[in-house]
Amino acid sequence: MQQNVDLQPLNSFGLPARARWFCAVDTLDTLQQALQFARVQALPVLVLGGGSNILLREDFPGLVLHMQLRGLQVLEDDGDTVRVQVACGENWHAFVSECLAQGWHGLENLALIPGSVGAAPIQNIGAYGVEAGERIESVLVWNRDTSAVEQIAAADCEFAYRDSVFKRQYRDSRIILHVVFRLQRHAALNLSYSTLAQALAGQQPVTPQAVFDAVCRIRRSRLPDPAELGNAGSFFKNPVVSAACHRELQQRFGDVPGHAVDAGAEAPVKLPAAWLIERAGWKGRRLAQAGVYEKQALVLVNHGGARAQDVVDLAQAIMADVRKQFGIALEPEVQWVPAPQGEDARDC
């Protein structure tokens, strides 16, 4: 247990913040002792993984638990299906790379996403046509209400677009310890995402390694490395609008990109937030030391020395402009700590 710990190296935005109390959790026993300490001291608790999807708006007045559990265990391998249990503190991209090396397929499209394995089910991370929830069988958690380990089946995780029970009703009561994935020995590649399909056009045969390599190339060409330019990845969710709203936008602005989220002529349409932000004139712009990345309008970056309020001001200005120009409310994908209240909440 440590006091007054600097959190700037532990969040990928590189924003200054400190923890009143801090504990690196590498065993279940450590976790239990730390939570007991927090109960006795009546401290709020913040669970921190890779720090890649978080906006620390101020110093944290309670206990920060930095989850560092490690380990990977094959639970079953029948030659077709592999069930593998991975600790929350394992690096996500390293885990995806290990799966590829072992011939366990299904996660290739999620290569190079920053962060830890424990964050995958919380956010239901996704990229290039695949979401982590499609490959998760169950999640092992510490239930703070019962002080016991609990296994939650994927069906009960309520996985949705960048969402799960761990962001809502279980946010403060469950701490993810391990994630069980169900992967395949025989590749069933997902090339539904047009950008990925184009990158692999003419390549035969298309292998899991080829998909992995293509995803890495695409991400490196479009997204900044947090080690070089502080950021939290995609800052906003892609908004979903009605088919009628999409038609109206096309009448006003021409060819507005989007794709139906399910079957049917009047199915809701998911719009790319990056297109809205760029069309609103924000791509490459800066406010103070925070800015919109010049190659990808969905990413807000720390140009060096930015404070949390710089990022908040930039995000709110973007949301206000998009709402004014398109009548669409953008929702942050990045988790704000503390969560927005009052004036902030109106734009979030």
The CA-based angle 16-21-27, given to 5 degrees, is: 110
Distance CA 232, CA 11 (A): 8
Q: What's the fold here for domain 224-346?
A: 3.90.78
φ/ψ of 10, rounded to 5, equals -105, 10
* pLDDT for 305: 95
Single-letter amino acid, residue 295: K
Q: Give the sheet arrangement for strand 286-287, strand by strand.
A: 230-234, 299-302, 290-292, 286-287
pLDDT score at 347: 41
Residue 222 CA to residue 146 CA, distance in Å, equals 44
Cα–Cα distance for residue pair 266/243, rounded to 1 Å: 5
Read off the pTM. 0.92
Q: Which residues of the chain have pLDDT under 50?
A: 343, 345-348
Paired with 178 in beta bridges are 87, 140
Q: What is the CATH number of domain 2-67?
A: 3.30.43.10
DSSP for residue 139: E
| Type and span of the H or E element at 206 | none
Q: 72-221: what fold?
A: 3.30.465
Q: What kind and span of H or E run contains 158?
A: none
Sign of CA dihedral 131, 132, 138, 139: negative
Rounded Cα gap, residues 15 and 12, in angstroms: 8
Q: Is 333 annotated as catalytic?
A: yes
Amino acid at 177: L
Sheet order of strands, 18-25 included:
2-6, 18-25, 60-67, 45-48
- Cβ contact 191:180 at 8 Å: no
For residues 225 and 24, what is the distance between their CA atoms, to the nearest angstrom? 25
pLDDT, one tens digit per residue, over 304-342 is 999 999 999 999 999 999 999 999 999 999 999 998 765
Q: Is 108 a catalytic residue?
A: no
Q: What is the pLDDT of residue 348?
A: 34
Q: How do the domains of the chain map onto residue ranges?
A: 2-67, 72-221, 224-346
Q: Which residue is catalytic, options 57, 135, 162, 219?
A: 162
Which SS3 state, helix, strand or coil, does residue 234 take?
Answer: strand
Contact (CB, 8 A) for 65 and 10: no
Task: State the pairing for strand pair 136-143/2-6.
Answer: unpaired
pLDDT the model gives residue 260: 87
The answer to whether 2-67 and 224-346 have equal CATH topology is no
Q: What is the CA radius of gyration of the chain?
A: 21
Beta strands in the chain (DSSP E): 2-6, 18-25, 45-48, 54-56, 60-67, 72-77, 81-87, 126-127, 130-131, 136-143, 148-153, 174-184, 230-234, 240-241, 259-260, 269-270, 286-287, 290-292, 299-302, 335-337
Nearest to 123 by CA among 176, 68, 82, 183: 176
For the question of residue 162 being annotated catalytic, the response is yes
